[in-house]
Amino acid sequence: MLNHSGSLDRVFQALADTTRRAVVERLVRGPASVSELARPLAMSLPAVMQHLQVLEACGLVRSEKVGRVRTCHLEPAVLRAAEGWITAQRTVWEHRLDRLGDHLSAQRDSPDQGSTP
Instruction: Answer whether residue 53 is part of any domain.
Output: yes
pLDDT tens digits for range 61-114 = 999 999 999 999 999 999 999 999 999 998 888 888 888 888 888 888 877 654
Residues 6+ apart with CB under 8 A from 52: 23, 34, 37, 61, 63, 72
Number of alpha carbons in the 13 Å side-chain half-sphere of residue 76: 4
Domain coverage including residue 90: 1-107
Please report which confidence band the pLDDT of residue 60 belongs to, taking 50, 70 and 90 as the band edges. Answer: very high
Instruction: Answer whether residue 34 is part of any domain.
Output: yes
Instruction: Answer whether residue 116 is part of any domain.
Output: no
With CA atoms as reference, report the closest residue to 54 among 23, 83, 86, 85.
23
3 has a pLDDT exceeding 70: no
pLDDT tens digits for range 32-52 = 999 999 999 999 999 999 999
Strands (E) located in 61-116: 61-66, 69-74
Domain of 56, CATH number, reads 1.10.10.10
Instruction: Answer whether residue 114 is part of any domain.
Output: no
- How many DSSP H helices and E strands does the chain contain? 5, 3
Count the domains in the chain.
1
